[in-house]
Amino acid sequence: MKKIIVFIIVSIATVSQVFAQQTVLISKEEVAIKVTKNNSSIKISQQEFMEAKADFNQTKAVFLPNITASHTGILTTNPLMAFGSKLNQGVLTQNDFNPDLLNNPDRVQNFATVLEVQQPLINLDGLYQRKAARASMEAMSLKRQRTEEYFSFEVEKAYMQLQLAYKGVAVLEKAEEAARANLKLAQDRFKQGYLQRADVLNVEVRVTEVQNQLQTAQSNVQNASNYLSFLMNDESYVVYQPSDSLAVQTIRVKENDFSENRSDIRAMQLATNAYEAANKADKMAFLPRLNAFGSYELYDDNLFQASTNGYVVGAQLSWDLFKGSQRIGQAQKSKATLEKSKLEYERYISQSKLELNKALRMLTDAGNRLKLSELALEQSQESLRIRTNRFKEGLEKTSDLLGAETQFAQKQMEYYQTIFEFNYAQAYLNFLTKTT
């Protein structure tokens, strides 16, 4: 008896210590805002989109010129370089054509400032690479959107888990209160000689069991709170308390039919389009390219001076006739990647339909269980009331009362668990049918 009382006191102290931690009242809307703003996975998806956007911006090189500027200084006695440098500087004289000076020139220094422009004119493979990059960027945008939709659904689930955890604590606190009242009543009846010592011990064991379950329920509150902190990227890890209680909700689902206009499915479609464009780009690499070029050049024998100048303009038609088997292999690889993407898309469509059908059945089953669990709760409550009154009058066995008390607590937990499952099924179905 003393050991049980000591255990109960220690358990109460433990639970009280847990509740003594900082408790923060929070609403689902506040959680959603903080998750959207701070969640690491959402931030990662945003940066992935920025990467894809940067890749697309690089493909502007198909249209825009490549402009470079340079300033080069040389010091040479090379016959060809020395003669060319003087020629560029415009300082050649009749003596410079002396064969001895041509073959053994004096040291010459030359400084050249060159501004070069290269302008693509026809680059078919580059155009298809740009098309592939655009499709990839749009796919990443939709992936980012789907990530935000997923964490919106995850907030719904995590917040309901916190509500359910608090319901568990409330149920077990009432169960503990009832168990203590029954223990006092059993002890009084034992003193009066109406009960045996074994009956009192059974009631004491029941109190201990409820207290142990209450500790577990409080741990569930902490676990649910910590998960919310993780979603919000909050390292304080306080104990959160929902601003509203768990109750049956009706979440409006726009449509129950499968739609390919969902952000993740559209993202896969665009990814396939990107692979298709990349394959066409590899095929177009076999065709020639036409580029224009030009340069403006300044020369002098002093640093950063320009005594003479000249320009060069032209166009180049280039054609890589054969690069080993590199281009052939690349085209084959991109073709295989395209076909794999198509197969993955078909598999994903099939899997998504399977998940939707499963979610519809899950919602129906949860609705049916909700009705049955509510009825079972009412029946167990009435049974406990009757047996409690009969026990007070000495007309009921202790074991029957404890059984009714345990059953009522179980039915309460089952009822709230069913509410959670029903609300979760609606939220999940809404997530699966959300379209852009």
DSSP string, 151-208: HHHHHHHHHHHHHHHHHHHHHHHHHHHHHHHHHHHHHHHHHTTSS-HHHHHHHHHHHH
Q: What are the percentages of helix, strand and coil residues in the chain, rounded to 5? A: 70, 15, 20
Note the pLDDT tens digit of each residue in 242-261. Answer: 999 999 988 776 556 788 89
Q: Which residue has the higher pLDDT, 100 or 340?
A: 340
Note the pLDDT tens digit of each residue in 180-231. Answer: 988 888 888 788 887 788 888 988 898 999 999 999 999 999 999 999 999 9
Q: How many residues does the chain have?
A: 436
* Closest to 212 (Cα-Cα) out of 7, 21, 411: 7
Q: In what order do the strands lie in the sheet with 308-318?
A: 66-76, 108-122, 289-300, 308-318
Note the pLDDT tens digit of each residue in 322-370. Answer: 877 888 899 999 999 999 999 999 999 999 999 999 999 999 999 999 9
169 vs 56: CA distance, rounded Å? 54
Q: Which residue has the tokens 């464009």?
A: 277
- Burial readout 344-362 (b: 16 or more C-beta within 10 A, e: otherwise): ebeeeeeebeeebeebbeb
How do the domains of the chain map onto residue ranges? 2-38+123-285+324-432, 66-122+291-319
Q: Residue 5's pLDDT band (boundaries 50, 70, 90)?
A: very low
183 vs 172: CA distance, rounded Å? 16
Residue 72, strand partner residues: 112
Mean pLDDT on 26-54: 96
Asked whether the predicted pLDDT for residue 404 surpasses 70, the reply is: yes
DSSP 368-401: HHHHHHHHHHHHHHHHHHHHHHHHHTT-S-HHHH
- For residue 3 the two structure tokens come to 């050991």
For residue 155, the number of C-alpha atoms closer than 13 Å in the C-beta half-sphere is: 23
- For residue 271 the two structure tokens come to 């990814």
Q: Which residue has the higher pLDDT, 31 or 256?
A: 31
Note the pLDDT tens digit of each residue in 268-324. Answer: 999 999 999 999 999 998 889 999 999 999 998 888 888 889 999 999 998 887 877
* pLDDT mean across residues, the chain: 89
Q: Residue 96's pLDDT band (boundaries 50, 70, 90)?
A: confident
Kindly list the distances between the CA atom of residue 245 and the CA atoms of 168, 207, 277, 408, in Å, as whole numbers in the listed order. Answer: 12, 26, 52, 20
Asked if residue 418 lies in contact with residue 222, where contact means CB atoms within 8 angstroms, the answer is no
For residue 391, the number of C-alpha atoms closer than 13 Å in the C-beta half-sphere is: 28
Asked if residue 279 lies in contact with residue 339, where contact means CB atoms within 8 angstroms, the answer is no
Kindly list the distances between the CA atom of residue 368 and the CA atoms of 2, 171, 423, in Å, as whole numbers in the listed order. Answer: 47, 23, 13
The domain at 2-38+123-285+324-432 falls in which architecture? Up-down Bundle (1.20)
Phi-psi region of 248 (alpha: psi -120 to 50; beta: other; left: phi over 0): beta
This prediction's pTM = 0.83
